[in-house]
Amino acid sequence: MKKYILLSLLFAAVLGTASAQKVIIKTYVERTHMSPKTGTAIGFENRFLWEYGVFFQEASLMESFMMSEQDKEALPRHYEKDFSGIYFAVPIVARESFLLKANVRTGVSNGENFVITPSVLADFMPVKHVRLGLGVGSRAFRPTIQASVALSF
């Protein structure tokens, strides 16, 4: 609960300083070498298309249904259950309905490990306020894939 309050306060502070910016609310699924993760990100995008914000990600709820108890016990000790922090994204290619960005997320995993995850994300905008995204990244020197849906206003 503290994480949600902290994220809400941080977002309110950022929103207050960036009221002239575009707000982006994103939900995503990331497939890592261990299991799928679901996440939410809230941020803003300035007129130069730089994006800043906060995120919270946790292990997928489907994971507990798909894995047996024996499989769960075989997971490594430092298995990532949640990951929260800040992110920023810088445009590489920008067109009217397509945007390619270099993205870096940094934060705390499981409340104790500091993590930095780079990725390249592509957003397709079929209508004005909706973005569909796909990207690739790296987590613990292993590839990840991410799919997202975002609203921007």
| Beta pairing class for 130-139 and 113-127 | antiparallel
The answer to whether 133 and 124 are in contact (CB under 8 A) is yes
Q: Report the distance separating Cα 30 and Cα 21, nearest Å.
A: 27
- The pTM of the full predicted model, rounded to 2 decimals, is 0.77
What is the pLDDT, as a whole number, of residue 133? 97
The answer to whether 14 and 44 are in contact (CB under 8 A) is yes
Q: What is the pLDDT of residues 16-31, one digit of tens each?
A: 555 558 999 999 999 8
CATH number for the domain including 96?
A: 2.40.160.20
81 pLDDT band (50/70/90 cuts)? confident
- The domain containing residue 145 runs over which residues? 2-152
Written as one letter, the residue type at 74 is A
Best CA proximity match to 36, nearest among 68, 80, 78: 80
Domains contained in the chain, number: 1
Q: What is the pLDDT of residues 88-131, one digit of tens each?
A: 999 999 999 999 999 999 999 888 889 999 999 999 999 989 99
